């Protein structure tokens, strides 16, 4: 099964799954680090059912939400129908985002990078759609040993090292690059072995 098939299958349950994995604190701390303001335009990449999008809409921003999965996008369109004038849901892939150059003031990507084939290329593509002065904010997990996430959740990467993240953001042309522990955890229980993966979440930030 591909990652796209997996996320199409779990779209109906994703909100409940996500609530068991990590809390709203992740997005709220990311928004504070980014310094979001009402009226701004942000992209939410690997948006899923709109965990980050929901928080951005509440803070008064408009959002372009991108995901590879039609089922996730369909769920999001239904959930946020009342805010249809401030959300644009687009199907797209990490390597060729469906946005023009310099389109948005913030790019958020929560728990998305560990699913993409080429993280360095995905970060360069995220940077392309940022306006000068804009901010890239990636939240994901630090490197970990929990191999079952590859088979049970279609993770492509077992998290990331700080040094690799710093290198990729800098190579993309971002400045004031910082990678910090967000002070939040991601907790996933294996259906197969009962083992629980407990992972620290980082925030990687860069300015264009």
Contacting residues toward ligand SAM, per CB under 6 A: 3, 7, 18, 46-48, 51-52, 67-69, 72, 93-94, 110-112, 115-116
Token pair in block for residue 51? 């965990």
Residue with tokens 């860069």: 206
Write down the least CB distance from residue 14 to ligand SAM, Å.
6
Contact between 126 and 109 (Cβ < 8 Å): yes
Write down the least CB distance from residue 93 to ligand SAM, Å.
4
Cβ-closest position to ligand SAM: 48
Write down the least CB distance from residue 69 to ligand SAM, Å.
4
Cα–Cα distance measured from residue 80 to residue 1, given in angstroms and rounded to the nearest whole number:
29
Write down the least CB distance from residue 36 to ligand SAM, Å.
16
Cα–Cα distance measured from residue 196 to residue 141, given in angstroms and rounded to the nearest whole number:
15
Write down the least CB distance from residue 141 to ligand SAM, Å.
10
Strands (E), the chain: 41-45, 62-67, 87-91, 104-110, 130-141, 175-189, 196-207
Q: Which is nearer to ligand SAM, 46 or 133 (CB)?
A: 46
Radius of gyration (Cα) for the chain, nearest Å? 16
Q: Which is nearer to ligand SAM, 40 or 69 (CB)?
A: 69
Q: Which is nearer to ligand SAM, 93 or 185 (CB)?
A: 93
Write down the least CB distance from residue 38 to ligand SAM, Å.
22
Token pair in block for residue 8? 């199409």
Q: Which is nearer to ligand SAM, 98 or 176 (CB)?
A: 98
How is the beta sheet containing 62-67 ordered, strand by strand? 87-91, 62-67, 41-45, 104-110, 130-141, 196-207, 175-189
Q: Which is nearer to ligand SAM, 28 or 93 (CB)?
A: 93
Q: Which is nearer to ligand SAM, 105 or 125 (CB)?
A: 125
């Amino acid at each position: 099964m591909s990652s796209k098939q997996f996320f199409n299958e779990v779209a109906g349950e994703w909100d409940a799954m996500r609530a068991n994995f990590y809390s709203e604190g992740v997005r709220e701390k990311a928004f504070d680090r980014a310094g979001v303001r009402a009226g701004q335009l942000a992209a939410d990449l690997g948006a899923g059912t709109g965990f980050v999008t929901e928080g951005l809409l509440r803070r008064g921003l408009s959002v372009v939400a991108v995901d590879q999965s039609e089922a996730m996008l369909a769920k999001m369109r239904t959930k946020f129908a009342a805010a249809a004038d401030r959300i644009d849901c687009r199907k797209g892939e990490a390597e060729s985002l469906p946005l023009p150059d310099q389109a948005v003031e913030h790019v958020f990507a929560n728990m998305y990078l560990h699913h993409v084939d080429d993280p360095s290329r995905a970060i360069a593509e995220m940077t392309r759609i940022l306006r000068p002065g804009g901010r890239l904010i990636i939240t994901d997990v630090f490197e970990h040993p929990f191999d079952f996430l590859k088979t049970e959740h279609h993770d492509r990467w077992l998290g990331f090292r700080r040094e690799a993240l710093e290198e990729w953001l800098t190579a993309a042309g971002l400045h004031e690059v910082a990678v910090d522990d967000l002070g939040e955890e991601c907790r996933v229980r294996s259906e197969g072995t009962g083992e629980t993966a407990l992972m620290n979440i980082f925030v990687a930030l860069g300015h264009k």
